[in-house]
Structure 1
Amino acid sequence: MGTADEHPQNRGAHKVSMTNRRSGSITGVSDVISFDIAEVLLETELGMLQIKGADLHVNRLSLEKGEIDLEGRIDSIQYSEISDFKKGGESLLNRLFR
């Protein structure tokens, strides 16, 4: 019998919904690693999610429900493996700009 790590479809629901690159809702969020007006970095059920843009604001955050709503100009959305961000001995910036 497989584990949730072997079968990502068995994990909690993860959904990204974007409207006109100005607002978005994301489910399946397990943690907010960092956020500012230019970048939001989230840990989701399916990996790290990096959102870049301008004037980004978190309007609603519920880690209990795993949901976040944000608005601002959204320029890019990028996924990566969680393990890429949890390597010891390196700063977060070094890992982001590899």
Structure 2
Amino acid sequence: MEKKNENKLEEPRSNIVLESRKKLTLTGVEEVISFDDEKILLNTKLGFLTIKGSELKMNKLDVQNGDVIIVGNTASIVYSSKEVKKEKESIISKLFK
């Protein structure tokens, strides 16, 4: 039996563990973009991650290892692509081009 080539590039990894919608444990976090008690925006190895809820607090932040623990009432967790999208133009600005 031959061993598979172990020189493959490692795929980016990021894990999410949500316990009873009260405690969120994340790995693979590269940067905290913004946060308040209702919305947290993170840059992870798999793209941007938006967490919405109420009474959100970061209990642990270890950017060197990419670990974050968030407590509070989690309402939604949404990934978006790594590309930063342009803000949508208003209807008025489109009309006057």
Aligned partners of 2:18 and 2:84: how far apart in 1? 25
Q: Which residue of 1 aligns with 2:22?
A: 22
* TM-aligned CA deviation for residue 84 of structure 1: 2.7
RMSD over aligned CA atoms reads: 1.8
Distance 2:42 2:51 in 1: 8
Alignment-mate amino acid for residue 10 of structure 1: E
Which is greater in Rg? Answer: 2
Distance in 2 between residues matched to 1:16 and 1:23, nearest whole Å: 10
Between the two proteins, what is the percent identity of the paired residues? Answer: 36
TM-score normalised per structure 1: 0.76
* Structure 2 unmatched ranges of 5 or more: 1-8, 89-97
Give the match for residue 65 of structure 2: 65
What aligned pairs does 1:68-79 form with structure 2 within 5 A after superposition? 68-79=68-79
Alignment size in residue pairs? 81
CA–CA distance in 1 between the matches of 2:47 and 2:25?
16
Question: Which protein has the bigger helix share?
Answer: 1
| 1:10 Cα offset (Å) | 1.4
Flag structure 1 segments of 5+ consecutive residues without an equivalent.
Answer: none
* Matched residue type, 1:41: L
| Paired letter, 1:71 | V
Residue identity opposite 2:43 in structure 1: E
Q: TM-score by structure 2 length?
A: 0.76
TM alignment of 1:1-98, pairs within 5 A: 10-11=11-12, 13-84=13-84, 87=86, 90=87
Q: Within 2, Cα distance between the matches of 1:77 and 1:24?
A: 10
Q: Give 3-state SS (helix, strand or coil) of 2:83's partner.
A: helix
